[in-house]
Amino acid sequence: MSRKVFYFTLILIISSAAFLMYISRRAPEEELEPSIPEREIEEETEEPAEEEMDEEILAMMKLISLRAEEGGLPEVPLVVGHSEKTDVEREYGSPDSQDDTEEGEYAVYLSEHITVGYEDALVTDLRSYDPDLARITYAHITEILGEAPKTSTYTDDENSHLILTYPVSEIYSLKWILDQNSGDPKNPSADHISIVMSEEHPTAVMLKRIHAMSLKEKIGQMVFAGISGITADDSALALITEEKVGGIIFNSPNLKDPEQTRTYVNTLKAANEMNEIPLFFGIDQEGGRVSKIPGDLMDIPSSRKVGEVDDPEFSYELGQALGEIVKAYGFNINFAPVLDINSNPQNPVIGDRSFGDNALRVSSHGIPLMKGLQDAHVIPTIKHFPGHGDTDVDSHLALPVIEKSREDLAALELIPFRNAIEAGADMVMIAHLLLPEIDDKFPSSLSETVIHDMLRAELQYKGVVITDDLMMKAIDANYGLDEAAVLSLKAGSDIVMIAGGYEKVRDVLTALLDAAVSGEIPEERINQSVRRILLLKDKYEITDAPVEEIQTERLNELLEALLNQYMN
C-alpha cells in the first residue's frame, strides 16, 4: 500500500470516530429539548382528553334520554305517572323541603339532587339538579338533539331560564332548563332537567277525567251500597240516579233465582246509563257455606276441601269456574278468596272458609284461585286483611281483639297477603279487628296505621282497598255509621261498604260529602281513591251492557267436569 493511501485511510477512520463521539455527546441534549416535530406530536396526544370529555357528555345525554323515554331519571327508581308518594318516601324518606305551587306539590331532596312533583300523591314531574348537568350547554343539546320543538322562558327575581322541551316518546317529554345568568348567555349551561307526562299519557288522561267529575260523583264512587228486596224499587234506583254510587252488593235476601237476579241487575245497569262510569256489582261466592249465587247449581267445595286436595292447578281452575259463574249472573267482583289462616280452632267465622292452618297452604291455593278469577275477567278480592284467622269472636257480632305485634303478623298472617300482592292482587278487603299493639285506638278498617303504613307502605300495595260491611256490629256497636265511614276514608280506604238500605247509604254519602267540602277529607285524598277505582274498572273493561240469559246447565257441566277430575 502506498504511503498516500495509508494516510487517507487513517484520516477517514479518525474523522468517523470523531463524528460518532459528537453524536453520542449531542443525543442527551436533544432528548432534553425535543425538536419541533416532536413537540407537535406531544401536543397531538393532549387532544384525546377533549374528545373524552365530549364522549362523557354524549354518554350522559344518551342515558338521560333513554331514561326519559321510560319516564324516569338516571339512577332514580321512580317513574312519572306510575310511582306514588309512598314509593318516594320509602326510597328517600321525608323531603328536606316542600313547596306548594300552582302546578302542584314539590318535594325537594337536596342530597339526592332531585325534586319530585305530585298531583294527588302521584308523581307527575321528576327533576334532576345533578351538578354534572352544568357541563352540558345549549350547543351540546342542539347539536345532539336538534332544535327544540318547543322553547320557552322563565324569569323571576333570582332566575332567568331558557326551557327546551323535547318529546322523547308518545307519553313523555324531556325538558332542559338552561341558566342564562351563568357562563356565556349565547351558550348557557344546563341548570336542571325535568321529565313530565304528555297529554296523551294514560295517567294524564285519567287525571283530567277525575278533575272533570263533581265532588258528589267522586264520593259516590267510594261507596259500595246494599239494596233491599228482590226487585229494583225506587230507592234502589235512586242510589244510582241521585246518589251516584259506584257499586252494588247483592246478598242472599236479594237473590231468588237466576232470572230474577238477571232482571234485577239489568234494571240497575239500565238506570246507570245516565252516568258515565259503569257500576261494580259484587257478591260473596267463596264456595262451601258462603255461596250466594241462586239456582240449581252444583255444590262448590269449601276452601278447606280445596286445600285438602292440595293441587294448585285445581285451585286455579276452580277460580276460573267461579269467575264464569258470577260473570254469567252479571257480577264483576267476587269477594273471594279468603286468605285468612285458620290458626285458631275456636274461630267462629272463618273455619272451613280458610284453605288451611298454615301460610304455605293458604298461599298455595288462595293465589291460584285469585289468578283463575282474574283470567275469567272477574275482579277477585283477597280478604280479610290483616288476618281474621286467629280470633274467637265473629266481627259480625262484636269487635275481635288480636294481641299481636307487627312482627307477629309478619311471621304468619301477612304472608299470604304479601304473596298475593306480589302476584297482582286487584282489591283487598279490610277486616274489623282491634290490634292494640299496632293501633290501640282504631279498628283495622278505620286505622291509618294498618291501611296506609302496613298495607300501602310496607306491603307496597297500590290497588283498591274496600272495607268489610261497616254495618257489622264490630263497627256499628262502637261508632256511628257516618263517623266510621269518614274515619275509614281518612285512614286510606278507597271504598266503604254499606250493605244496608237506601237511607243509611244516603246518610253516609251526605256525611262524606260534608267532610270533603269542609276539608276534613282533602280532595287530593279523594282523587287518589277515585283514580284507583276508575283504573280498576278500565282494566276489567267494566260496562253496563245487559246480562244475557243465564245457562245454568252449561255452568253445571263446567263444575261437574272439574270436580270429577280432581275430587272423585
As a whole number of angstroms, the distance between CA 419 and CA 369 comes to: 13
- Please give the DSSP secondary-structure letter assigned to residue 134: G
Does residue 462 register a pLDDT over 50? Answer: yes
Does residue 562 register a pLDDT over 50? Answer: yes
Burial class of 13 by CB neighbour count within 10 A (0 to 12, 13 to 18, 19+) = exposed
Nearest to 567 by CA among 364, 360, 299: 299
Top pLDDT among 47 and 452 is at 452
The pLDDT of residue 531 is 97
Does residue 13 register a pLDDT over 70? Answer: no
The pLDDT of residue 386 is 97
* Percent of the chain whose pLDDT exceeds 70: 91
SS3 306: helix
What's the pLDDT tens digit per position in 185-197?
A: 899 999 999 999 9
Cα three-residue angle 562-563-564, rounded to 5 degrees: 95
Contact 415, 403 (CB under 8 A): no
The pLDDT of residue 546 is 98
As a whole number of angstroms, the distance between CA 173 and CA 154 comes to: 18
What's the pLDDT tens digit per position in 223-238?
A: 999 999 999 999 999 9
Cβ atoms within 10 Å of 249's Cβ, excluding its own:
22
As a whole number of angstroms, the distance between CA 566 and CA 568 comes to: 6
The pLDDT of residue 345 is 86
**264, three cell numbers:** 234485577
Beta-strand (E) ranges in 186-252? 189-197, 223-226, 247-249
Q: What are the domain boundaries of the chain?
A: 44-198, 213-562
Give the position of cell 278447606.
Answer: 304
Nearest to 190 by CA among 100, 279, 128: 128
The pLDDT of residue 435 is 96
SS3 143: helix
The pLDDT of residue 319 is 98
As a whole number of angstroms, the distance between CA 496 and CA 123 comes to: 26
What's the pLDDT tens digit per position in 25-82?
A: 333 333 333 333 333 333 343 433 333 448 899 999 999 999 999 999 999 999 999 9
Give the position of cell 307487627.
Answer: 406
Kindly give, in sequence order, each residue whose CB lies less than 8 Å from that of residue 360, ignoring residues fewer than 6 positions away: none
Which amino acid is it at 26? R
**18, three cell numbers:** 470523531
For residue 280, what is the enclosing H or E element? strand 280-283
For β-strands 379-385 and 333-334, DSSP reports them as parallel
Contact 491, 454 (CB under 8 A): no
What's domain 213-562's architecture?
A: Alpha-Beta Barrel (3.20)
Give the position of cell 243509611.
Answer: 504
Active-site residue flag, 357: no
Mean pLDDT of 524-544: 97
- Please give the DSSP secondary-structure letter assigned to residue 301: P
The pLDDT of residue 143 is 92
As a whole number of angstroms, the distance between CA 251 and CA 245 comes to: 17
Mean pLDDT of 367-394: 96
Does residue 19 register a pLDDT over 90? Answer: no
Which runs of consecutive H residues, i.e. helices, occur in 423-461? Answer: 448
φ/ψ of residue 137, rounded to 5: -115, 170
The pLDDT of residue 33 is 34
Choosing from 468, 469, 482, 494, which is the catalytic residue? Answer: 468
Q: Which has the minimum average pLDDT: 39-43, 98-102, 306-310, 461-465?
A: 39-43
Does residue 129 register a pLDDT over 70? Answer: yes
Bridge partners of 401? 434
The pLDDT of residue 530 is 98
Choosing from 82, 113, 377, 396, which is the catalytic residue? Answer: 396
Active-site residue flag, 396: yes
Does residue 7 register a pLDDT over 60? Answer: no
pTM: 0.85
Across the chain, mean pLDDT equals: 90
Mean pLDDT of 281-298: 97
Q: How many DSSP H helices and E strands does the chain contain?
A: 19, 18
- The total number of residues written for the chain in this structure: 568
The pLDDT of residue 422 is 98
Nearest to 265 by CA among 542, 554, 69, 558: 542
Does residue 362 register a pLDDT over 70? Answer: yes
- Please give the DSSP secondary-structure letter assigned to residue 216: H
